[in-house]
Amino acid sequence: MLTISELVEEFGFKVIAGQAGLDREITDFSLKRPSAELVGYLTYLTPQRIQIYGRTELGLLQQLADEIRYDNLSRVMLSEVPCIVVTRGLSIPSEFIQLAEERSIPLLTTQRSTTQLYYLLIRYLANRLAPTTLVHGVLVDVYGVGVLITGESGIGKSETALELIRGGHLLVADDAVEVQRVDEENLRGRAPQTIRHLLEVRGLGIMDVTQLFGAGAVREEKELHLLIKLEEWEEGKYYDRLGLDPPETFVILGIPVPMVTIPVRPGRQLASIIEVAVMQNRLRSRRG
């Protein structure tokens, strides 16, 4: 959840009016510059979006007669509007303050230009409001490829990650991975704050990877490119031995991720197998 008060703190906005609405939740990462709406064209008014007012919007208002200005603005500043931001420290018409107070809409101001604020806000909101899920597994960066290792508890995910780290690869998250949908095609993973940089290995306990291997052995987040599923070797079960089977996929937040299933039994060098799986996946991607 993201509230207006968090947004005010993040961007250093000055609150002019509507303080009663600072606890409102932001649900839409899109923004609205209501130019056409201010002159009465309300067909595409989207009141759930944050409204941005710059020179263009305020200039349009100033051209309207007083009674028309208030009437048009009241149709745009609906109670559902999360907040309003006026850019460049521009002078704010009294109608804004009156309506913001009456409808508890936080009225904010900033010295940033409209273009700069628009860019910064879109990036911030898209990141904060992107769909997120928690996946049980280990996320590592292997040769620059984000690899999510999954499997039943005790199968050896963390131990395999430790071998990969010793081989020069990077830890992103162990045990719990926050996976976020960045856009229609890409996922990004990171560790929850409470377990960041930590790795749990049975028999050794919980260790801080940065203290053991240095700060260069971890990454804060990484795009997710490949899923490795570890499972107990099952005698008699069919496993691809020739590499001719079509690639498997696993869907996370609506996005299919290439998946490789690796059977686990004593003596198998899982870290080395995963390194080769990453290289094979790279080759398939280039050919595709």
Residue list, annotated binding site for Mg(2+): 158, 200
Residue 208 among the catalytic residues? no
Task: Pick out the residues of the known binding site for ATP.
Answer: 151-158
Distance CA 226, CA 62 (A): 55
Catalytic residue among 14, 123, 136, 284: 136
CA distance 19 to 28: 20
Binding-site entries: 151-158, 200
The catalytic residue among 24, 32, 49, 157 is: 157
**Is residue 241 among the annotated active site residues?**
yes
237 is catalytic: no
Q: Which residues of 22-31 are buried (b: 16+ CB within 10 A; e: fewer)?
A: bebebeebeb
Alpha-carbon distances of 45 from 32, 69, 95, 243, rounded to whole Å: 9, 17, 19, 54
Catalytic residue from among 202, 237, 241, 286: 241
- Helical H runs in the chain? 4-11, 35-38, 55-62, 66-76, 94-103, 114-129, 157-166, 209-213, 270-287
Catalytic status, residue 66: no
Among candidate residues 103, 128, 175, 181, the one labeled active-site is: 175
Provide CB contacts within 8 A for 25, sequence distance 6+.
Answer: 1, 2, 3, 82
Catalytic site residues?
A: 136, 157, 175, 241
